[in-house]
Structure 1
Amino acid sequence: MIRNLLQPFSIRLTLLLTVLCVLTLVAASPTAAQDAAAPADEAETIAEVPTEPKPLTEPLIAKLDALYDALPEQREKITALEQRITTGEGLAAEILNIRLDLAWLGLLEDTLAFAEAVVAQEEDGFDTSDYTGDVIDALGDQLTIATTAINRTKASVKMPAPDQSATDQATAYARVFKALDVIDRVYEVFSSSIEISQRFNLDVSKSEEVLRTGLNDRAVNTSVFLEMAVRDISALRAALAISPEDAEIKSQILGAESRLQSAADELNRITRRMDALDMSTDEYRAQILSSTGEITTDLFNLSVIGSLLAKSLQSTMDTLAAEGPSALFKLLLFLIIFYAARKLANITEKLVKRGLSSSTIRMSRLLERMIISTVSNVVLIIGVLIALSQLGISLGPLLAGLGIAGFVIGFALQDTLSNFASGMMILFYKPFDVGDFVEAGGIMGKVNHMTLVNTTILTIDNQTVVVPNNMIWQGIIKNVTGQRIRRVDLLFGVSYSDDIAKV
């Protein structure tokens, strides 16, 4: 009963405590939210406070002043060189021109170095406002400086004459590539200057246009230069095949290979700069890959592979269009001559066989087959050589190659050639012939077939044995049927009880 009275009271107490807890949480939540938001507000307040730039230290000021003072000094150097060139002649003028090209490049590099130094100090939190105007003025001259440097260096490039010696050509090409290296360096510095100019909100549209046009021209010219090197190597190697001992041709090949590698490296550097400007370089990378054969990451570039395949297909189609009819006619003529040679070889074989069968001269069957086969094959080979000459194939190198191949094959097949030599000895000395009963090479039986390499013997117990001719010629040969009359020894058994007179 007491439990029944206390039960409603406990329920009311539980409900009251629950309501108090809920009210406490609701009252505390805005305070907690305000407490959580307070640090964020403080952080925003702190972030909004600008940081004052630090004043430049004396060493930094001295460094920037030195970089800035180097610009007028470099211009004075350029002016002095230009005055000297007007009075210089010959080699002296050439050297002065090279120095002047490098001086213009130096002015471009010094300007970039000054701008980069100012930007670096600004990023470190120093106040560089005193130098901002100087940097903007200096960067504004970069387009003029770069254009002047490129045009001057291009004018100094002189390709070697075709009639120059290999040594003179190598020297001339070395100067050409040295000048091209200067031009590439100008483009590299000019590209970095454009990036720095954008930090100072300068208009670089004209500079970017000049850079893109210049890089595209450099890529086209270097591509042509690379193609010329490939063709020179191909022509020189063809000439070397005709005159293998010509030292001048070998020297020219080395020079052409050096030019090819230099041009490929040059084009590779240009394409990397073009990639940075989102310019198309697939065609040039495909050319580098096909010219040098070097395995690079471009091998996995589908665009490069597609360009390479398209170029190969186009080259094949151009070749077929230009030489297809002539090649087809030559192929048809080759087939006609080859067919006629085979027919003539068969006719010759029949005539020789008929002549040998009606001849009164006794010769072995092996010799007859050898004569017939040799005459037929000679006629066929002459016909094939004539047919190959119609295709434009030089027979001299071909015959020389066959001679070398024959030497190598002969060295590898010494045992076979030994059997062949033994077969020739059997052919000329004729110790036996087909149909004779012989004992040779440890085998006794009837000679069933003979070639220049081996002899087939049918034994008494009707087994076919092929014996190498070398074993036969190096051993004892017994020709049982070689003579029409021969002695036969017979043994008869006689007992003691037989009649002696009858015996």
Structure 2
Amino acid sequence: MRKYLIFFALFFVSSLTNANSDAFEQALAEINVQQQNMVVEHNKLITTADEERLYFEDVLSRQNKQVRDKVTLLVNTYGDDHETELGPVLMEQVKYLETAIKTTKAEINRLLDAAEQAADAKKIELSNYAYENMITLDQHYFALADTFTLCEKMNLDVSSSVSKFKRALVSRADMLSNMLRFYHKRENDLQDRMLVTTDEEKAELTKTARQLAEVSKLLVANLENTVLLLDRYKLDTAEYKQLIFSITGEITVDVLNFNVVSGLATQWLTSFKEWALVETPTLIMRLLLFVAIIIGTRSVSKLVKRAVKKSVSRPSMKLSKLMQEFFIGLSGKITFVLGLLIAISQLGINLGPLLAGFGVAGIVIGLALQDTLSNFASGMMILIYRPFDVGDFVDVAGGVRGKVSHMSLVSTTIKTFDHQRLIIPNNKIWGDTINNISAENYRRVDMLFGIGYGDDIRKAEQVLQDILETHPLVLKDKDHEYVIKVHALGESSVDFAVRPWVENADYWTVYWDVTRAVKLRFDEEGISIPFPQRDVHIYQHG
């Protein structure tokens, strides 16, 4: 029984081995057929026109990927047992890729040469074909590098081909770097030319600059792919990475490499030294001119403010203090801003983008300072309609009373009668009732005096009349006659309304003097000034 089990086990293992061998032979045969077909398709590619080449390139690209995937699978699966059979397949793949690289390079050169001689429309088309072939060339390089890795895994001697491949990669990186510098310089030159050209020329230059930017982008992608391959073979790529960073400005992990950082620092330091040697004298002169213009602008601003102040302060202008200060301050600020812009232009700074930036910043600041702008708008309304002026006595913002000591477009400063200084936002003043106490030249002093019900009304009227007649500050002309009338019969007194007219400045003097005189005269004449009284009746219940 044991012999039969051993026999069946050996038979099963042999069957599996034969099955694996059959699968390997079948896959190897398919790869050989596909490789032969690729050679045929590649020969067709060489002899076809530009439009048909794209089709054959696409076919070859897909077939090449399929072959590489199958070869990689065979090497990883059967490599240890079938080195002899897989070696020729890998070498054939190396041979095909080297030929494809050579053919693609020749095609790129042919297309670029043809583009130089072609018209504008055809030139763009041929250039696009050339750049598409450069992408294909990158794919061939990556495929060849992967194939070399498989060859080394199978212990195939490809050292000579790898050395040649490394030299080709370095040569390609140098070529791409030079092309990239050339196109980037042309792009910068076009940007400088657009600053001094007409609108028609600028449109054409913009189109050309856009095309150059697209070409530079493709070249950067090609150089990045080449750098990846160079890094795979541990070759020095610091210079190429510096160039990519200086053009794109993209910060990647490669930029943090010490060699790249030191190279960039050296490059920037050298550029700064060269710039300093050329531009320092000019920069010093521009800075001196900038400082001179700023100093001169400040002096001119002061002169302009004096001239405007002299003009708006004339009585014939009839401008409020706020409007005078507004025009004086505005004239000085406008003069200084104009001088500042002139000074900045002397530094070589383009004012167009700067002014556009100020516009955008103004919108942002306006949204952030809505309350302040509301105060400013209210200040403008006060400026235009002039409900009060500096020096007026006002009652504003729901009960704030005092003298206006200072006004601006944002706030109003009021000094109260007890010498407090209140700063009130203009939107609170304009949005509420404004009582300008000193707007008119004359004011009526409203006072109320009470006498007892047992006192003589006629005598009291005569006493009040004598007090007003003898006071020197009470106006006595027919347009401002004082009033003395019985106003009301109160709960405990007969009330007199006493209303003399006075000049604004004499209001409180008359108010206090008359009040004091009434008390003294009523006491002398025996007229009582009653206070509130209540009669209280007490009832006792037995």
Which bracket does the TM-score occupy, shorter chain normalised?
0.5 to 0.7
Query: Aligned to 2:443, what secondary structure does the other structure show?
Result: coil
Residue 382 of structure 2 contacts residue 430 of structure 2 at CA under 8 Å; is this kept in 1? yes
Contact 2:148 2:158 in 1 (8 A): no
* Mapped pair 1:365 → 2:300: no
The one-letter amino acid of 2:330's match is T
Map of 1:450 onto structure 2: 407
Size of the aligned set, in residue pairs, is 436
Cα contact 1:136–1:200 (8 A) shared by 2 = no
Structure 2 portions without partners, runs of 5+: 1-16, 465-542
Separation in structure 2 between the aligned mates of residue 163 and residue 150 of structure 1, nearest angstrom: 21
CA distance change for structure 1 residues 64 and 470 in 2, over 3 Å: closer, same or farther?
closer
User: Partner of 2:389 in structure 1?
Assistant: 433
Q: 1:175 corresponds to which residue?
A: 129
Corresponding position of 1:212: 166
- Is contact 1:108–1:186 with CA below 8 Å preserved after alignment? no
Trace 1:241-390 onto structure 2 (pairs within 5 A): 262-289=218-245, 291-292=247-248, 296-298=252-254, 300-356=256-312, 361-390=317-346
CA displacement at 1:274 relative to structure 2: 0.6
C-alpha distance in structure 1 between counterparts of 2:242 and 2:272, whole Å: 16
Distance 2:337 2:283 in 1: 22
Partner of 1:420: 376
Deviating more after overlay: 443-452 vs 317-326:
317-326
* 1:128 match: secondary structure: helix
Alignment match, 2:176: 222
Deviation at 1:180, TM superposition (A): 1.3
Q: Does structure 2 retain, via aligned residues, the 8 Å contact 1:111–1:138?
A: no
Where in structure 1 are there 5+ consecutive unaligned residues? 1-52, 86-91
Sort the Cα spacing of 1:161 and 1:337 in 2 relative to 1 into closer, same or farther, 3 A: farther
Counterparts of 1:214 and 1:181, CA distance in 2: 16
Q: TM-score, normalised by structure 1?
A: 0.68
Q: After superposition, what is the alpha-carbon deviation per residue over 1:207-251, rounded to whole angstroms, capped at 9, x for unaligned?
A: 3343122212322343455557767887899979x99xx999999
Query: Per the alignment, in what secondary structure is the counterpart of residue 424 of structure 2?
Result: strand
- Per-residue CA deviations over 1:447-473 (Å, capped at 9, x if unaligned) read 111112221111122221112222323
TM-score if structure 2 supplies the norm length? 0.64
CA spacing shift, 1:193–1:360, aligned 2, 3 Å: closer
Q: In 2, Cα distance between the equivalents of 1:488 and 1:137?
A: 119
Question: Following the alignment from structure 1 to structure 2, what is the Cα–Cα distance between the partners of residues 324 and 216?
Answer: 39
For 1:319 and 1:302, how far apart are their aligned partners in 2? 25
Structure 1 residues 149 and 121: CA distance shift in structure 2, 3 A: farther
The question of whether the paired residues in 1 share the 8 Å contact of 2:97 and 2:143 is answered with no
Identity %: 30
| 2:395 equivalent to 1:468 | no
Q: Per the alignment, do residues 164 and 434 of structure 1 end up closer, same or farther by CA in structure 2, a change over 3 Å counting?
A: farther
Q: State the secondary structure of the residue aligned to 1:434.
A: coil
Call closer, same or farther: CA 1:164–1:410 in 2, change over 3 Å: farther
Q: Is the 8 A contact 1:121 1:128 kept in 2?
A: no
